[in-house]
Structures are given as C-alpha cells and as structure tokens.
Amino acid sequence: MPRFAANLSMLFTEVPFIDRFERAAHAGFEAVEFLFPYAHTPEELRAQIDAHKLQIVLHNLPAGDWDAGERGIAVDPARVAEFRAGVARAITYAKALGVPQLNCLAGKAPAGVDAASLRATFVDNLRFAATELKAAGLRLLIEPINPFDIPGFYLTRTDQAVAILDEVDASNAFVQYDIYHAQRTEGELATTLQKHLARIGHVQVADNPGRNEPGTGEINYRYLFAHLDRIGYEGWVGCEYKPARTTEVGLGWRTALTA
C-alpha cells in the first residue's frame, strides 16, 4: 500500500499554515510536503514536526515571486545568480528539517529567449543544484506541469524531463511525477510509471477534472495504487489535491482505493 504524505499547501487550507501540521497528524498522516518553507524559520517548522511526530518528505527550491504569478526561475538566463542563492537557502532549510529531496520548478519561459538558451540555462542550473544537493546528501527533483494550469511553463512532459536529466547526468536527480499533470498532458500513466520507475523520485496525486481527491474523476486510482505496489515504487505519494469539500470529509479515498 502506498505511503501518503499530506501536501500542506493544498490541504487544511482553512487554517493558518503553521496549524496544518497538527491537522495532518490528527488525520492519520505520518508525513507532509508543501511548496515552500521560507515564510517561517526552520526552528518554527522543526517544532511542529517534532510535536506531531511527522516527517517532511519534500519542499521546493525558491521559485521567484509566487504571489505575482512566477512559477520558478530555473530557465531564466537573467536570474542564474538568484537561482543559485536559492539553492543554498533551500539546503539550509532541508538540513534543519530532515528533508531528503528538493523540487526545482523550471518556471515559465521568459519572453524573447530562444529555446537553446532556455534549455542550456536549465541544464546548467540543474547541474549546479544537483552538485550542491549531493554534497548535502539530498536528491534533486524536476516536475513536468501541464500547460493548461500554467500556460507557458517550460517543462511539460515526462520524456522531456528524462531527456534533460540525461543531459544533466547527475546520480541524485530524478523526476517528480505528478499523476494529475501527466493525465492532462500525456496520459499513459501506468506505462509511463513502469517505464521510468528508476528515474522517478516522487509521485503526487489528484484527480481530473477538478484536481480534487482521488476517486472523484476519470483516473483509475484503485488500479494505479496497486500498480505502484506491483512495480516496486518505494517512495511517498504526495496528496497535492484540492479537497472537494474539506480535507477530512474527503479522506475516505485512502482506504477505499487501497483495500
């Protein structure tokens, strides 16, 4: 049975972020993930995970001005220094919080930059990040995101992510495979998971349409959860969905779809 981690950027959002750790623990989660920790000190977050006996399995590198609509800066040739400073900041948090892996959001392709420059910048930044993370004992992830939710996002497909990782050539760099984004962009979920299992470091879930909890849409999660067991996926499964009502009301899917 998969091990599920609550994404605190999507779940329990009716309470302040710092209070979501307690809610996750009370809902039966043993692990959490979230977009960014940087609005709080490592000490504040450490107190929460210690108090509620949780582990943090993932957060992102700094990704620019999120509130202004930025979704990463790793492909932007004009912001390499900012990206690299963000890597150092993320490592500081990850080491303090016991986080084993960090996700790098590629970002939207900036206007006026040719495709070759975008790819070269992304590859160079990933090589830098992978080297720094490896020295800290951490893994690096990159995540394809569908272009319907984030128009202009640079990294959209699994095969594109794998090809970029081949060029980066770092032993600690993997794909973050979000089943919701993959369904919207390419489908072939079970086959892709099996084909690229060795390259996938983390899996996330939400259903489609609506990005609500598993079991509310077209994706056959009962099959996929059993499939993850069959093919030997050993990582966490991040619950990065928008609850149709409240998180607690919708959590029955965890047993209904894994029995």
Neighbours of 231 (CB within 10 A): 13
240 is catalytic: yes
- pLDDT recorded at residue 8: 98
Residue 60 carries which side chain, given as an amino acid letter? N
How does DSSP classify residue 210? T
Is the pTM above the cut of 0.95? yes
Catalytic residue among 143, 213, 234, 248: 143
Distance in angstroms (rounded) separating the CA atoms of residues 247 and 144: 25
How does DSSP classify residue 247? H
Contact 253, 213 (CB under 8 A): yes
Angle at which helices 115-135 and 80-97 cross, to 10°: 30
- pLDDT recorded at residue 1: 83
Catalytic residue among 43, 213, 240, 248: 240
Structure tokens given for 66: 């999120």
Residuewise pLDDT in 10s, the chain (259 residues): 899 999 999 999 999 999 999 999 999 999 999 999 999 999 999 999 999 999 999 999 999 999 999 999 999 999 999 999 999 999 999 999 999 999 999 999 999 999 999 999 999 999 999 999 999 999 999 999 999 999 999 999 999 999 999 999 999 999 999 999 999 999 999 999 999 999 999 999 999 999 999 999 999 999 999 999 999 999 999 999 999 999 999 999 999 999 8
- pLDDT recorded at residue 245: 94
Tell me if the bond preceding 209 is cis, omega within 30° of 0.
yes
- pLDDT recorded at residue 240: 98
Would you say how long the chain is, in residues?
A: 259
Distance in angstroms (rounded) separating the CA atoms of residues 90 and 38: 8
Backbone angles phi, psi at 21, to 5 degrees: -65, -45
- Overall domain count for the chain: 1
Residue 16 carries which side chain, given as an amino acid letter? P
Where does residue 140 rank: exposed (0-12), middle (13-18), buried (19+ CB within 10 A)? buried
Range of the domain at 216: 3-256
Structure tokens given for 240: 């990065």
Contact 60, 240 (CB under 8 A): no
Distance in angstroms (rounded) separating the CA atoms of residues 191 and 189: 6
Structure tokens given for 17: 């972020």
CATH value at residue 47: 3.20.20.150
